Structure formats: structure tokens, C-alpha cells
Amino acid sequence: MSQWSARVTALAAAAQCLAAVKQIAREGSLRDSKQVQRLLLNVLDLNPTSLEQMYPDPHELHWGLETLLLQIGPTQHKDIEITRYIVGLMALERRLYKRPQSMAKLAERLQHIQRQRDDFNFAQDTIIAGMAGLYSDVISPLSKPIKITGKPDHLKQINVQNQIRALLLAALRNIVLWRQQGGQRRQFIFSRQRMITTAQQLLRTSRIPSEPQS
């Protein structure tokens, strides 16, 4: 995977997390929970060897690539909400990077949740709640909270709050990966066409082939 492909893959994964946040906040649940399983699993993959290891199946990021292209492409129908979430998380990532104590606490808590999952076989809901608590305790205090727009009846539910915070943590994880691959905010201005072309190429790869006609 080229460096540009890695950058766009990480951004698409973050965009998919945030599209899921938007859907849960409005509808109370995901229409297809499989679209976030890999994203949440990867939060606890603390020593990945590559983006290809983290996202081996391009079909899993189809939603994220479409969401990203909507944001950076030439269309006038951009999703301001998703843009606001991405900008907020990029600011949080920079604040986190400048606070070694917060980074160490984050790593310690992630290792603890990883052990709960792998060694003690904790239920998925418990793992999601652990990720949500980690986001609230370590990430949220770094800046003003990211305001999530949705239906109040849904946003008051604990399980919805936990899913949203876990997905924000997963999105942040991918913003970190994007930065590690050389991602910079100025690329959205000076290298936008390169990003669009790469995202379009990855989107073509992610399409599920049509079944042969019998």
C-alpha cells in the first residue's frame, strides 16, 4: 500500500466511524452493525504492522470512502456535521500528542480493555462501555466536548452514548494513524486532487463484484 493509499484509508476509516456516530445519534442504532466491527476491533490492536493488516478487506471501508469523497470531492452537497466532527478530532489528536501523560494513560487503559476482551472474554457491551469510559476520562478533558447532533430521546440512552464515544475513540485512532502516515491538514488544500484520485481508486477496489448471471 502506497503512503497516499494508507493516508486515505485511515481518513476513510475515521469518516466511517463518524458516519456511524451520525446514524446512531439520529436513529438510535446502526442499520448494519458489521460496518463498524472492524473499526472497533482495531482500537485494541495496539501494535499493527500496517494499515493493510488492520483493513484487509476493502469492502469494509466502502461507506467511509463514499463519506470521505463527499467531503473532499467537488460536490456541493458536503456534510457539515461530518466535517465538524473530523476537524474536532484532528484538534484533539494534536492536543493528545502534546501531552505525554495523557498518551501513557490512554495506552494503559487500552491494554486493560484488551486484557478484558482477550483474557477474560468480557461481553462486547462491556468492552464498548470500557472504550466509552476511556474516551470520557482521557480524551474529552483535552478540549471542549464535540457536540453530537441527534434526537434527544436517543442521546439520553446510555447504550447510545457508549456506542458514540467508542466510535469517536475509533475515529481518533484512525486520525492518529493518518498523522503517522504523513497526513497534514494542509493536504486538504494543496493535495486535494491527489486525495480524491486515491479515494476513487480505493472505492473501485471496495465495490462488491456482481454475482455472475446463471
Domains of the chain, earliest start first = 3-206 (1.10.3890.10)
Q: Is residue 214 predicted with pLDDT exceeding 60?
A: no
Return the higher-pLDDT residue of 13 and 52. Answer: 13
Q: Is residue 211 predicted with pLDDT exceeding 80?
A: no
Helices (H), the chain: 3-27, 34-43, 51-54, 62-72, 80-97, 100-118, 124-134, 152-155, 158-180, 187-190, 192-206
Cβ atoms of 103 and 161 closer than 8 Å:
no
Q: Is residue 210 predicted with pLDDT exceeding 70?
A: no
Q: Is residue 212 predicted with pLDDT exceeding 70?
A: no
Q: Is residue 70 predicted with pLDDT exceeding 50?
A: yes
pTM to 2 decimals? Answer: 0.94
Say what the pLDDT of residue 208 is: 59
How confident is the model over 13-32, as a mean pLDDT? 97
213: pLDDT confidence band, cut at 50, 70 and 90?
very low
Cβ atoms of 44 and 114 closer than 8 Å:
yes
